[in-house]
Structure 1
Amino acid sequence: MSGSTAKAGAASAQPSIGHVFVINLENKGYDETWGAASKAPYLSQTLRSQGVLLSQYHGTGHFSLDNYISQLSGQGPNADTQSDCQTFTPFVRTGTAAPGQAVGQGCVYPSSVPTLAGQLTAAGRSWKGYMEDMGTPCRHPELGAVDDTQRAKVGDQYAARHNPFVYFSSIIDSPDCAKQVVDFSALPTDLQKIDTTSNLTYITPNLCHDGHDSPCVDGEPGGLVSADAWLKRWVPVVTGSPAFKKDGVLVITFDESDGPQQDASACCGEGPGPNAALPGMTGLGGGRVGALVLSPYVQPGTTSDTPYNHYSLLASMEDAFGLSHLGYAALPGLTRFGSDVYNNASR
């Protein structure tokens, strides 16, 4: 695709962002999504022509859950999160390692582990997670129980492991969880007004619409075909909202490549962690997946070759809201979104 290409992030180039929207899709390597033979033409062609493609964006681990936790807290993988926490166990903390890593194993982090959600609340900002098919707000397994959302069911394709909010005691132990981690069906109404649109809107499609399953239990084809159809329906709802038009940024990315045997490459200085020597099981990362940024602050049809990963995304969201950097988002030299991404000089 034609378009200008930038190669260097410059975190100092920070526009006045008031609203960040994040959509995570599942388990696709860069070439499968963004290549000429992509089964997602709306994402790879139509939307790409409207935004800036981050061609060197990487996941931070394998399998799914550790990537979502990276985006929300900057915590690196451990053996339990790498295996998607088949049992919903507490994280047992045995120490601390730099930068800001809780040393230990387990799934549900204690309240001493900070999150972007907590940062936003403390700063007087708002946040909300919208989970397709979740139904009951703040839904998660009981502590110590087997996670019964690991496989999709007809009429219920929600996956707790794709909802990072419920892996932090500071969130699930709060009565506000039921108000702020809600079913996806609440999104259209909330987006109608700036006052009801949160500063952070974090969106997770169900196991079919995020491209994870193929075919899906309800008969849909799944994979990129279903993900693309879902994006075609819902991205215009986000980009047409008053908050997005005023000062919004939408990031569409994937949690990881199509598995540790295919691509466990890393970028951005990611190395062995205190809880997992190989965050990507067979390598140091979650593989190259790419990301697309849509915003009034970006020049349509452009590409940035600057390396980014989920820790970069967390740091960039924190920059947007004037917050300090958590966990690996504070890694020295980590690239954050700058003038290569926010490249629309007219804004």
Structure 2
Amino acid sequence: MLASIRHALAVATPLAALLATGCSRPREITHVFVIILENKGITTTFDSPSPAPYLAETLTREGAFLRQYHGIGHFSLGNYVAMISGIAPTRETQGDCGRYEDFVQRGTTPDGQPIGRGCIYPASIPTLPNQLTPRGLSWRAYMEDMGADPAREPASCGHPVVGQADLTEGATRTDQYATKHNPFVYFHAIIDSVASCQANVVALPALAADLRSARGTPNFVFVSPGLCHDGHDTPCTNGEPGGLVSADRFLQHWVPLIIQSPAYREGGLLIITFDEAEGSDASACCDEQPGPNVALAGITGPGGGRTGAVLLSPFIAPATVSDVAYNHYSMLRSIEDIFGLSHLGYAGQAGLDSFGDDVFGRR
């Protein structure tokens, strides 16, 4: 695998020619892949010996290790929502929205934060997919185990009935899908377009087929493993060990498929990170703001803790290490910059860094 990435770097146009004028990211990135794991701080994952050696050792040698990457809050759902909208947590998303209820909006702050309470944002609240589609850019979210138990959720655009309890809060032996790890279904701007949602929020097996050609691979790919393979559950209800051991096995299967795909080789960026650190770490970076609906995004502190992140790309030199501070708003901002989009919510915060020369540096 390392050889394949080095080959891609060797045959690519020199980075000096790839860097956009006045911008530190390569213009030729055409496909962004994101894999989100669960609830692990940076020392748990990356200190040696790691329970996830493929992620912590192999992949950090092959790409960029962002040592100061942070989640934006606790618990899971607020982080996922922020990744695709720039919206800060509410009390309900901090609690993972055990009831799937509408967000009742009372206003909007000057920096684009909706004021109110609830879970499912009105159709007027935009997301990254709503930015991509009008530009002719494709997107797809791949959810492991979605639809494995049709009594809990359908196999596409899987979410509870509005106003009812979320039956996917915990895993079963045969279904590890968690709605709270699927941010796309918390926006009416996505779920109200039923056909589009069903076509774009799909079960994970579809990814393997989509990767076979660059044309068939969406420009933006979001992968959410099930509760066993994202590191959330230890042990798993299906008998697997869970935690980082099972998460690492998931990556060993899917990362090679992604980085060997035509879309990645032509101009891909793969981002692997965690939604948040363990609950005791509520640290933040990047002058993170709590938003209008909670006092502290991390409940006991300002953020979601330091998780670290690993980025792979033909435009990233192997064994790159960055100590620039980033968070989920930075990731959204970086993706928007890659695709030439405006910045949503706190992705537009003054002074917030996009992934820069520390990641896409000249060799």
- Tell whether the structures are fold-level matches, with TM greater than 0.5: yes
State the AA in 2 paired with 1:144.
G
Structure 2 length-normalised TM: 0.91
| 3-state SS in 2 of match to 1:195 | coil
| Aligned partners of 1:61 and 1:281 also within 8 Å | yes
| 3-state SS in 2 of match to 1:231 | helix
Aligned to 1:278: 296
Aligned to 2:190: 171
Q: Which residue of the other structure, out of 287, 291, 299, is the alignment partner of 2:305?
A: 287
State the AA in 2 paired with 1:14.
R
Aligned to 1:149: 168
User: How far apart, in 2, do the equivalents of 1:99 and 1:313 lie?
Assistant: 18
| 3-state SS in 2 of match to 1:33 | helix
| Aligned partners of 2:138 and 2:218 also within 8 Å | yes
Deviation string 1:50-100 (CA, Å, 9 cap, x unpaired) is 000000000000000000000000000000000000000000000001311
Aligned to 1:158: 177
Aligned to 1:222: 242
| 3-state SS in 2 of match to 1:176 | helix
**What are the ranges of 5 or more consecutive residues in structure 1 without an aligned counterpart?**
1-9
Task: Confirm or deny that 1:181 pairs with 2:187.
Answer: no
| Shift, 1:313, TM fit | 0.1
Task: Confirm or deny that 1:139 pairs with 2:165.
Answer: no
| Shift, 1:344, TM fit | 4.6
| Shift, 1:11, TM fit | 7.7
Aligned to 2:358: 340
User: How far apart, in 2, do the equivalents of 1:147 and 1:54 lie?
Assistant: 34
| 3-state SS in 2 of match to 1:178 | helix
State the AA in 2 paired with 1:200.
F
Deviation string 1:10-37 (CA, Å, 9 cap, x unpaired) is 9811212100000000000010001113
| 3-state SS in 2 of match to 1:303 | strand
Aligned to 1:113: 125
Task: Confirm or deny that 1:79 pairs with 2:65.
Answer: no
| Aligned partners of 1:60 and 1:285 also within 8 Å | yes
Aligned to 1:267: 285
Task: Confirm or deny that 1:200 pairs with 2:220.
Answer: yes
| Shift, 1:109, TM fit | 0.3
Q: Which residue of the other structure, out of 9, 12, 34, is the alignment partner of 2:23?
A: 12
Aligned to 2:12: none
User: How far apart, in 1, do the equivalents of 2:281 and 2:121 lie?
Assistant: 28
Identity %: 56
Moved more, 245-254 or 263-272: 263-272
| Aligned partners of 2:72 and 2:297 also within 8 Å | yes
State the AA in 1 paired with 2:25.
Q
Aligned to 1:248: 268
User: How far apart, in 2, do the equivalents of 1:14 and 1:265 lie?
Assistant: 27
**What are the ranges of 5 or more consecutive residues in structure 2 without an aligned counterpart?**
1-20, 148-154
Note the aligned Cα RMSD (angstroms): 1.0
| 3-state SS in 2 of match to 1:24 | strand
